[in-house]
A and B are shown apart, each in its own frame.
Chain A
Amino acid sequence: MNYVAQRLLTFPLILLGVSVLVFVSIRLVPGDAITAMLGTEAGLLTPAQRAALAAYFGIDQPIWSQYLRWLSGLFQGDLGISSIYGRPVFSVILERFPLTLQLALMSMVIALGVGVPLGVFAATRNEKPSDLVVRILAMLGQSTPSFVIGVLIIYVLSVFFGVVPAMGTFTPLFVDPLASISQLIFPAITLGFAFAASVTRISRSAMLDVLSDDYIRTARSKGASQRSVVWRHALPNALIPVVTLSGVEFGYLLGGAVIVEQIFALPGLGRLVLDAITQRDYALVQGTVLFIAFNFLVVNLLVDLAYVALDPRIRIGGR
């Protein structure tokens, strides 16, 4: 627990670094905020109106003073007001986040549920035809872009089954679990496809390594069955790289899946960031990126805790 406390202490420092980067980089994007907000109508503004608007949004100040003002707001739990929605940034994010979180969790369940067994199966059939089939599938899954799979799923569903996946709406899980899951199942499969392919490949290679370890031979010399050797003796030792990969992928998914959200018309974090950037909603971009960075840190911490749970050599120090 000491370790967790140490890690938590580093969080504010990392987030501070992220905030500076984001603050500066969004302002380096060409084009000014007012033109982006008003579009063609911006041409009708007089210079005085333009200056008044800039002063209203606080973007007439030097960048460091803008940053300090934003930072002091941050310490009071205030991420600023979104210029697109005219509402506090934090409430906009919270509205979008449940969908993204649920989508990420569902894709991960699919990826692990399919990828780990497939990888283990392929490893035990090393170099046999069935291993080759799995490896080709995994390669395909990794190299097919998600929009192809997404479009393919919609096409197959609507043309052959006459079903149109629910689009544009989202029912929160606690309101109607079944409806909520069925709304997200096809996007989750789309995202989980490539994720599962990566999990398959990494669990296959980790299992191959472990299966040639000395303690596997020991287990066999005791008379353990193939099933017990694979699932009880080998798999727990092969899980660490799988956990590492899942952590990274899950972290990305929590940042929103722009393409899949577009295809299935889902109101998730990915599209929120995209809109915020194209419309130069500075406060919204800063708030969302900071939120995503925070999620990443939490996921990384969870991954480290998973290592501790999986490997007694990390949990209990050496002699």
Chain B
Amino acid sequence: MTPLLSVRDLRVGFGQTPAANEVVKGVSFDLASGETLAIVGESGSGKSVTALSVNRLVDFGGGHITHGSILLQRSDGSVLDVAKSDEKILRTIRGRDVGMIFQEPMTSLNPVHTVGAQIEEAFRLNRGLHGAEAERAALEVLDRVRIPDAKSRLGYYPHQLSGGMRQRVMIAMALASSPRLLIADEPTTALDVTVQAQIMALLAELKAETGMSMIFITHDIGLVAGIADHIMVMQHGLAVEQNTTDAVLDNPQHDYTRHLLNAVPHFTSGKAVRADNERTETSEPIVKVDDLVVRFPVKKGLFKPRGAIHAVDGVSFDLMPGETLAIVGESGSGKSTTARAILGLNEKHRGAIATKPGRSRRPIQMVFQDPFASLNPRLNVEALLAEPAIANGQKLDDALRTRMRFLLDRVGLPADVLTRYPHQFSGGQRQRLCIARVLMLNPDVVVLDEAVSALDVSVQARVLDLLVDLQHEFSLAYLFISHDMAVVERIAHRIAVMYAGQIVEIGEARSVLSDPQHSYTKRLISAVPAVERRRQHFALDATQVPSLVRPAGYEPPPANWREAGQDHRVRIEEAK
């Protein structure tokens, strides 16, 4: 039987001389109909370019196929070499034979057309449906991707929907023409982990329903374990290993595959937590947060009553010297707002934040998520590192330069980078620079707001190791904000789980991760993809986060807590 898709020695280059700037350097694979191939790799590995070559969207990004063939079996049984077809024919395979969903649901839908219009367009282009027929079809496909209240959603614009909903709309659009092949380019990377689980479950169900093939591109080998039949691992434009999923995961042949499986954080339900810091009753907290409340006022028109977004509601915790407290939760849970309030970047509505006088005038410093956006591109490294010191009244003298060199050495950068500019560094190096910058003032506490989330997985692992080393050397306390349970497991001593502005569970890391008590913590942890749990199936769960907008004067009922072990407290849930 001929495969649905057969790619042979594919080479793709960019720029004026594509042959000299190859990003994909000879990739071959087959995909049988009904099967799922996962392409796994880090940024720059050529995984997306390979997939975009299959429907030739790569041409619009400046790419050129310089060599090789891409044989696609069309629905009428004929075989087409996509690599050599012209645009007119290519247009008929896009949508009709090959559907695609993308990484960024927030920007992948056209903001000026309604969701309904965009789905109907897909039906019009590929099935020739018009008017009421197209509308009925759009409604039907929205139901199939489990969008509640589909009829009214048709009239919505993309900005009125959440990220998970938008990704469902994208999937609905791709399904409109019942494609034989669906290419999913990191479709869940931008989504929260519980939403990711929902989308993965949906894709698995749709695949079973329709029998379509799928190419699934991801950097997270744990994510595809449950859905892929074959895995192809890519590095520097080459497929370094390809085999069945079980063979790749259980018996990896190539060093890079082993590296992805072992060096990279994977979630293991509390087995990989640190064991280097025991809390003693005698030590005094360096930061003590008591009943922190942050609200953002909402104005509705001129005369209607005002309410407020209760972003953080009654959060209390303490942080000991040398300890890592991780705050985990999904977007909108209030974890970043909490961190920003501690630094005074957000105004607090109520509550106390006490810091023990430490060794620095600025005891709390912060590292941000995006290392590309948080370094001023016009300043060189010396100026970047000097900035916090100068802002605190120091002079740029030899003593300061000595400290810069010392810290650069500690974060693993050579001292001669002082005259270089941010664009000359990779993402991981930039984040190291940001870490060196916060250490300039010798802080006691470093707030790390998703500090490794934007990094490639293997870089992530190295930066985490660096953070642990620095913590020991400078006896730093970390407040580590993250949505990624696997990362948190590697660095946290204690974990606070936030949901809808409140801490629902807090305690020692191993205890929280291995024996979660609160229903939300359980849901969160069961949604984390893991290699070892790959045979377990996700159930579809469409629970939505409640609205945090409250009428003026609303106060939440007082929290009741129960002990779930030594240093493990859970908020008692109200019976419904």
A residues at B contact (CB < 8 Å): 2, 213-226, 233, 236-237, 310-313, 316, 318-319
Contacts and interface: CB of A to CB of B under 8 A. Distances in A.
B102 A218 contact: yes
Contacts of A220: 57, 60, 94
Interface in B306-348: none
Contacts of B112: 236-237, 310-312
A311 B111 CA distance: 8
Nearest to A236: B112
Contact of A312 (B111, B122, B170): B111
A223 B162 contact: no
A213 to B, nearest CB: 7
Given A312-B157, A316-B160, A318-B160, A223 B109 contact: no
A311 to B, nearest CB: 6
B95 interface: yes
B371 interface: no
Nearest to A235: B112
B403 interface: no
Contacts of B102: 214, 217-218, 221
Nearest to B547: A319
Contacts of B110: 215, 218-219, 233, 237
B373 interface: no
B173 interface: yes
12 contacts: A214-B107, A215-B111, A217-B57, A217-B102, A218-B173, A221-B55, A221-B174, A222-B121, A222-B126, A223-B96, A236-B113, A319-B159
B104 interface: yes
Contact of B107 (A215, A221, A310, A312): A215
A218 B174 CA distance: 9
A217 B108 contact: yes
Contacts of B95: 221-223
A223 B125 contact: yes
B492 interface: no
Contacts of A2: 301-302
Contacts of A216: 60
B472 interface: no
Q: Is the interface of A mostly helix, strand, loop or mixed?
A: helix
B550 to A, nearest CB: 16
A10 to B, nearest CB: 15
Interface of B: 55, 57, 60-61, 87, 91-96, 98-100, 102, 104, 107-114, 121-122, 125-126, 157, 159-162, 170, 173-174, 176-177, 301-302
B100 A221 contact: yes
Q: Which 8 A-B pairs have the closest CB atoms?
A: A223-B95, A221-B100, A214-B107, A223-B94, A312-B157, A215-B110, A222-B95, A236-B112
A280 B170 CA distance: 66
With a 10 A CB-CB cut-off, give which of B55, B126, B159, B177 has the most chain A CB atoms.
B159
With a 10 A CB-CB cut-off, give which of B104, B125, B177 has the most chain A CB atoms.
B125
Nearest to B88: A225
Given A217-B61, A218-B170, A313-B157, 20 more contacts: A2-B302, A214-B104, A215-B107, A217-B57, A217-B108, A218-B109, A218-B110, A220-B60, A221-B95, A221-B174, A222-B94, A223-B94, A223-B126, A223-B177, A237-B110, A237-B111, A312-B114, A316-B160, A319-B160, A319-B161
Nearest to A219: B110
A222 B125 contact: yes
Contacts of A237: 110-112
B156 to A, nearest CB: 9
Given A217-B102, A316-B157, A224 B121 contact: yes
Contacts of B157: 312-313, 316
Nearest to A312: B157
Contacts of B93: 223
Contacts of A226: 87
Contacts of A312: 111-112, 114, 157, 159
A2 B160 CA distance: 22
B562 to A, nearest CB: 35
B316 to A, nearest CB: 30
A214 B101 CA distance: 11
B108 A215 contact: yes
B107 A213 contact: yes
A223 B159 contact: no
Contacts of B104: 214
Contacts of B100: 218, 221
A128 to B, nearest CB: 14
Nearest to B99: A221
Contacts of B60: 216-217, 220
B162 A319 contact: yes
Contacts of B302: 2
B43 to A, nearest CB: 17
Contacts of B98: 221
Nearest to A233: B110
Contacts of A318: 159-160
Given A217-B57, A221-B94, A313 B122 contact: no
Nearest to B52: A217
B105 to A, nearest CB: 9
Contacts of B161: 319
Contacts of B174: 221
A318 B106 CA distance: 13
A117 to B, nearest CB: 19
A213 B108 CA distance: 8
A237 B158 CA distance: 14
Given A222-B94, A223-B91, A215 B109 contact: yes
With a 10 A CB-CB cut-off, give which of A2, A215, A237 has the most chain B CB atoms.
A215
Contacts of B57: 217, 220-221
A222 B110 CA distance: 13
B193 to A, nearest CB: 21
A237 B112 CA distance: 7
Nearest to B106: A214
Contacts of A313: 111, 157, 159
A37 B565 CA distance: 98
Nearest to A313: B159
A260 B52 CA distance: 54
A222 B173 contact: yes
A226 B60 CA distance: 11
B122 A222 contact: yes
